[in-house]
Amino acid sequence: MNINFDELAAFYERLEATPGRLEMIDILAELFGKIDTSEIEMVCYLTLGKLGDGPSELTLGLAEKLVIQTLAEQYGMSESEVEKLLAEHGDLGVVAEQTISKKTQSTLFDFFEDDESSPSSFSITSLWSLLLKLAHTTGTGSTGTKQSLLTNLLIDSSPLESRYIVRIVLGKLRLGVREMTLLEALALHYTGDRKNKSLLERAYNFISDIGKVASILVNDGFEAIQKITPSPGTPIRCMAAQRADSAFEILNKLGGKAALEIKYDGLRIQAHITPSGVILYSRNHEDLTPQFPDIVSSLQKASQVSNAIVEGEILAYDFENDTFLPFQNLMRRRRKTEIDEMMKKFPAKIYLFDALLIDDLSVVDLSLPDRRKLLENSFHENESLAFSELLYISSEDELNDFFMQAVKDGCEGIMAKSITPSSIYEAGVRGWNWIKYKADYVGSLTDTFDLTIIGAYSGKGKRTGTIGALLCASYNEDEDVYQSFCKLGTGFSDEDLKELTDILEPLKVKEKPNNVMSGIDPDNWVRPKIVVEVAAAEISKSPTHMTAWNGTSGLALRFPRFTGRIRTDKSADQSTSLSEILLMYEAKRRAV
């Protein structure tokens, strides 16, 4: 059956009012039982507040100011009146909902009357069609056209529909639903078993598009889901590493032997090589190909195969002195202009460390040693391309020697990787097949954490006009929520504060997002999206922070400090996880 958008909006209202993840999954499973198979992709994307997923995701590009102007004209109000209501409610969706009774203009059906594919009612398909038109409207005069499209979209909207339409076009849907929640709901409804979420997640990790996963499931069946493998041109969700703070713990986890690699302070890249060219994806699936033409050229020269997906680390490099340069130099290469000048000023080199596909054959289920052999047999080193340094060891002394030399050479630390037959590439998984061991974890030095910003505090004194501090969270993978972990107020330069103020402004929301847990309230809540690197002296118990909350206390960072790095290469769900934090906390307790 097909449902109209008013019915979908009613489900969204229920989801918005539901704090529990299991209850959300039940509501989503019920929703999937109401929609037609032709709507499954659209519903999945819309429920995440997106137009597509992965590299194919479209952006609407509607600024809050434009929506305010549209609402003012639509409802016969002044912009200042709309802004006053926004200040009161903190949500333009609610503003639209409460003033919808004033609409007087033509209908959405009239807008489509000359279109042969016009919808006969306000369906999900018609909403999707208009949103796509909004996303594809660019260039001279696009602002007026977008405003007209939004006006026509709101004309036939009910109050509830208007709430969610406005939120969708602003990128602020606020349902608290994420990909893992949707996957579990898909498993529950279409396979009858929540446990099948793990197989859907594996497919999602290979194709990075939840709409496509859902479409394959409902149209081709569960067997087709299990046959999904890596494909050139489709970014794969990167495998992640756990942490350990001693050679003994590492070898204990890895069965007494391991492959050791340098942990470079660079930019992790997934390179997709085909006869038609090379695409470089960041860990967050951003296409970085235009920024690194030198690396693209090196990969093309080095490749001995037609198709491949390989992973490596790009580093800023001083070729004259044969040394690494600071990470900040590499970030200059992220500029989208003056590429040739930046390439000459900040040269780069890539160190390949893994293979996921070679000559159209998926190799993710092979052991690490077998994947490494295929990698080295499929590429030749050249001036701007090398293989990561690799050493197979079976003793703590060997591991410690390699580690100390890496630190002495100015590297972050080392990676220790399993070499057993089960050392497969686990896309999208943070498991014990890979372990990172950094200088930060040793002795009395500080740990570093990649944390998601969930709130901001207004600056005072010399910080007036910018944010003064941040509320940061860890990521609870099991519950798919962000839990407060520290209030961060030191380590910022004036430039950092200004940049973060600009970045966070469009992400501010009046109420705490559904997927956020915090025992303290910041001046402004922020949708969990931006990740920052934080150093701290130790992890301690807290009566207010919600990481590892047991009913009476949680865990928090002691003396947190911003390191200066905004992790644009990481999405929020790739921030430091609850499981990592618990491991570090227990390790420190045992060491005392």
CATH of the domain at 137: 1.10.3260.10
**Burial state string for 327-364 with b = 16 or more CB within 10 A and e = fewer than 16:** bebbbebeeeeeeeebbeebbbbbbbbbbbbbeeebbb
Residue 157 confidence class, pLDDT cut points 50, 70, 90 = confident
Residue range 487-513: mean pLDDT, rounded: 91
Which of 441, 459, 489 terminates a domain? The answer is 441
- Is 263 tagged catalytic? yes
Q: Does 515 lie in the same domain as 408? A: no
What burial class does residue 273 get, using C-beta atoms within 10 Å of its C-beta: 0-12 exposed, 13-18 middle, 19+ buried? buried
Residue 108 pLDDT more than 60? no
Determine phi and psi for 313, rounding to 5 degrees: -120, 125
Question: What percentage of the chain reaches a pLDDT higher than 90?
Answer: 65
Of 452, 443, 446, 492, the C-alpha closest to 469 is 492
Residue range 230-253: mean pLDDT, rounded: 93
Q: For the whole model, what pTM was predicted?
A: 0.81
Contact in structure between 236 and 273 (CB atoms under 8 Å):
no
Which of 417, 441, 465 terminates a domain? The answer is 441
Q: Does 412 lie in the same domain as 368? A: yes
Domain span including residue 366: 240-441
What burial class does residue 151 get, using C-beta atoms within 10 Å of its C-beta: 0-12 exposed, 13-18 middle, 19+ buried? middle
- Does the residue 86 lie in any domain? yes
User: What's the CATH code of the domain at 490?
Assistant: 2.40.50.140
585 versus 499: the higher-pLDDT residue is 499
Of 441, 510, 448, the C-alpha closest to 485 is 448
**Count: domains in the chain:** 3
Which of 114, 143, 170 terminates a domain? The answer is 170
Q: What contacts 126, CB < 8 A, 6 or more positions away?
A: 5, 108, 112, 118, 119
Residue 324 confidence class, pLDDT cut points 50, 70, 90 = confident
pLDDT computed for residue 119 by the predictor: 37
- Does the residue 431 lie in any domain? yes
> pLDDT tens digits, residue range 386-438?
999 999 999 999 999 999 888 888 787 899 999 999 999 999 999 999 999 98
Of 252, 238, 449, 439, the C-alpha closest to 353 is 238
Residue 325 confidence class, pLDDT cut points 50, 70, 90 = confident
> pLDDT tens digits, residue range 65-100?
999 999 998 888 899 999 999 888 888 999 999 887
pLDDT computed for residue 76 by the predictor: 84
Q: Does 11 lie in the same domain as 100? A: yes
Q: Does 404 lie in the same domain as 523? A: no
> pLDDT tens digits, residue range 526-554?
999 999 999 988 899 999 999 999 989 99
Q: Does 148 lie in the same domain as 111? A: yes
Residue 498 confidence class, pLDDT cut points 50, 70, 90 = very high
Q: Does 319 lie in the same domain as 402? A: yes
Of 413, 480, 452, the C-alpha closest to 576 is 452
- Does the residue 179 lie in any domain? no
Give Dmax (Cα) for the chain.
Answer: 78
Q: Does 436 lie in the same domain as 343? A: yes
Of 148, 193, 184, 150, the C-alpha closest to 168 is 150
Q: Residue 445: how many CA atoms within 13 Å on its side-chain side?
A: 10
> pLDDT tens digits, residue range 356-391?
999 989 999 999 999 999 999 999 999 999 999 999
Residue range 215-228: mean pLDDT, rounded: 95
| Mean pLDDT of the chain, nearest integer | 89
**Per annotation, catalytic residue among 197, 263, 487, 570:** 263
User: What's the CATH code of the domain at 391?
Assistant: 3.30.470.30
Kindly report which listed range (446-460, 521-535, 538-552, 578-592) carries the lowest average pLDDT score.
578-592
Residue 444 pLDDT more than 50? no
pLDDT computed for residue 237 by the predictor: 95
Residue 305 pLDDT more than 70? yes
Q: Does 105 lie in the same domain as 29? A: yes
- Does the residue 551 lie in any domain? yes
- Does the residue 193 lie in any domain? no
Residue 55 confidence class, pLDDT cut points 50, 70, 90 = confident
- Token couple for 40: 């499954």
**In angstroms, rounded to a whole number, what is the distance separating the alpha carbons of residues 251 and 257?**
6
Q: Does 570 lie in the same domain as 546? A: yes
pLDDT computed for residue 104 by the predictor: 44
- Does the residue 216 lie in any domain? no
Q: What contacts 446, CB < 8 A, 6 or more positions away?
A: 440, 535, 536, 537, 561
pLDDT computed for residue 61 by the predictor: 65
Q: Does 383 lie in the same domain as 470? A: no
Residue 292 pLDDT more than 90? yes
Type of residue at 419: I
- Does the residue 192 lie in any domain? no
Q: Does 451 lie in the same domain as 437? A: no
Q: Does 92 lie in the same domain as 12? A: yes
